[in-house]
Amino acid sequence: MSTQPKPYLTPEQYLEIDRAAERRSEYYNGEMFPMSAVSLNHTRIVTNLTVSFFAQFHGRSCEVAGSDLRVRTEAHGPYFYPDLVVFCGQPHLADRRRDTLTDAAVIIEVLSPSTERYDRTFKWENYPKLASFKDYIMVAQDQVRIEHNVRRDNGAWEMRETTELQAVIELPSIGCTFRVADAYARVEFGDETD
């Protein structure tokens, strides 16, 4: 049985296809990767954190955006759709379509069985290429567990983890905090998977 090699897509071809598609895809090295469907727990965590950030950003120059805003980490990709992205000040956008951000300050990924390895490895290898990037937060959806990677002034990364609902995650890079309990409001643990 022969397998046909996938045709190489340029970043421009990817953007044209992705912008016209009903479902989003990420891009790396000439290939498109379709985004997975999400669970109710995933949606609740993203909504909870969006509401928390939105309230804290009132009257400030920072904004929170959901997974419809694409992030590009280098001039020719890769291109990702984080679950949540925060940027401050005038956003740096890749082109006049205004749908690809190049200066994320904080990125949050809600871990799913189908994407956890990808979020922990490939995305984690690429997000720090953004000079503006200060915080990477990975939120488990099947248990209370938040991992927070913080870029120090010397460029080194420090990882903090909590499993305590009473804990508070501090994000001095954007002047925000959120309670772990608030992130998990209405989340029900059990057999739910993505």
3-state helix, strand and coil shares in percent for the chain, rounded to the nearest 5: 25, 30, 45
CA-CA distance, 127 to 134, in Å (whole number)? 10
Residue 194 has pLDDT above 50, yes or no: no
Tell me if residue 17 falls in helix, strand or coil: helix
Domain boundaries, the chain: 38-183
- H helices, E strands: number in the chain: 5, 13
CATH 3.90.1570.10, applies to 38-183: yes
56-101 pLDDT, tens digit per residue, is 999 999 999 998 899 999 998 899 999 999 999 999 999 999 999 9
Average pLDDT, the chain: 92
Residue 128 has pLDDT above 90, yes or no: yes
* Alpha helices (runs of H) in the chain, residue ranges in sequence order: 11-20, 40-56, 116-118, 124-126, 180-183
pTM as predicted: 0.90
